[in-house]
Amino acid sequence: MQFMLLFSRQGKLRLQKWYVAHPDKLKKKITRELITTILARKPKMSSFLEWKDVKVVYKRYASLYFCCAIEQNDNELLTLEIIHRYVELLDKYFGSSIRLLAQKHCILVCELDIIFNFEKAYFILDELLVGGEIQETSKKNVLKAIAAQDLLQEVSYGDVPIEL
């Protein structure tokens, strides 16, 4: 995988993870163009896009678009599974209540979770993927690792855990 972007239906970027080295300017350009292209696509269209020389796989969950640029040899369908796995993990982490994967009326809850806890969204992604490749296929293990690190964060300040 070359990069992953999360953005809202309004085109606001919510998360960006780059596994290729691009100058900041280029990253911004790619992000902008890709968001525009994807938002212009109709729901009837497939989740795959041949965009410039990369294969792009995207899927919308509630108000959020999850978008990955993958390598030529990567399996597009599997990328959809990776995105889904990430959504499941976010869902499990931010609460047992039904969120991203649920009906329309609770969608704001989740996008807000990711906005206000964006660093957690990154931490979870980093336990799922390293260098753009999947490192852990067990949901339980990912969440265990995150929980253990959250705990470590609290104890590392002694009795006064610090809030960001």
Partner 1 sequence: MASIKQAFNEAVERVSTVRMPAPTRLRDLIRQIRAARTAAEERTVVNKECAYIRSTFREEDSVWRCRNIAKLLYIHMLGYPAHFGQLECLKLIASPRFTDKRIGYLGAMLLLDERQDVHLLITNCLKNDLNSSTQFVIGLALCTLGAIASPEMARDLASEVERLMKSANAYIRKKAALCAFRIIRRVPELMEMFLPATRSLITEKNHGVLITGVTLITEMCENSVDTLNHFKKECGHREIVPNLVRILKNLILAGYSPEHDVSGVSDPFLQVKILRLLRILGRNDIDASEAMNDILAQVATNTETSKNVGNTILYETVLSIMDIKSESGLRVLAVNILGRFLLNNDKNIRYVALNTLLKTVYVDTSAVQRHRSTILECLKDPDVSIRRRAMELSFALVNSNNIRNMMKELLLFLERADPEFKAQCSSNIVMSAERFAPNKRWHLETLFKVLVAAGNYVRDDVVACTIQLISETQSQQSYAVSALWRALEKDTSDKQPLAQVATWLLWNPQNTVVTKQYTLLSLTKLSTRFQKGNEKIRQIIDTFGSNLHIELQQRGIEFSQLFRKYDHLRPALLERMPPMETARPQANGIIGMVNGEPESEEDKSSVLEASTPPSDSSALLDLLGTTDLGITPSASNKNSSANSTTVVNNNDLLDLLGSLDLNAPTSTSTLPQAQTPSQIFSPTNATNFLVDGLLNSSSVQNDTLSMIVLDKAGLKITFRLERPPDIADLLIINMSAQNSGNAILTDFLFQAAVPKVTFQLQMLSPSSTVIPPSGQVSQVLKVTNINKVPLRMRLRISYTGPTGPVLEQTEVNNFPPLTLQ
Residues that bind partner 1 (CB under 8 A): 13-19, 21-24, 28, 44-50, 53, 72-73, 75-78, 80-82, 85, 115-116, 118-119, 122-123, 126, 130-131, 133-141, 145, 148-149, 152-153, 155-157, 159-164
- Nearest CA to 54 out of 36, 35, 40, 34 is that of 34
How far is residue 22's CA from residue 54's CA, in Å, rounded to a whole number? Answer: 14
* Minimum CB distance to partner 1, residue 129 (Å): 8
Task: Specify which residues 6 forms β-bridges with.
Answer: 15, 66
- Nearest CA to 91 out of 104, 109, 79, 73 is that of 109
- Which residue reads 């990711």 in tokens? 114
52 backbone dihedrals φ, ψ, rounded to 5°: 50, -125
* Minimum CB distance to partner 1, residue 113 (Å): 11
Closest CB to partner 1 among residues 103, 162: 162
Closest CB to partner 1 among residues 102, 123: 123
Closest CB to partner 1 among residues 60, 136: 136
Closest CB to partner 1 among residues 26, 98: 26
Closest CB to partner 1 among residues 105, 131: 131
DSSP notation for 11-37: --EEEEEESS---HHHHHHHHHHHHHH
**Interacting residues of 144 by C-beta distance below 8 A, sequence separation 6+:** none
* Minimum CB distance to partner 1, residue 104 (Å): 21
* Minimum CB distance to partner 1, residue 37 (Å): 12
Gyration radius of the chain's alpha carbons: 16
* Minimum CB distance to partner 1, residue 60 (Å): 13
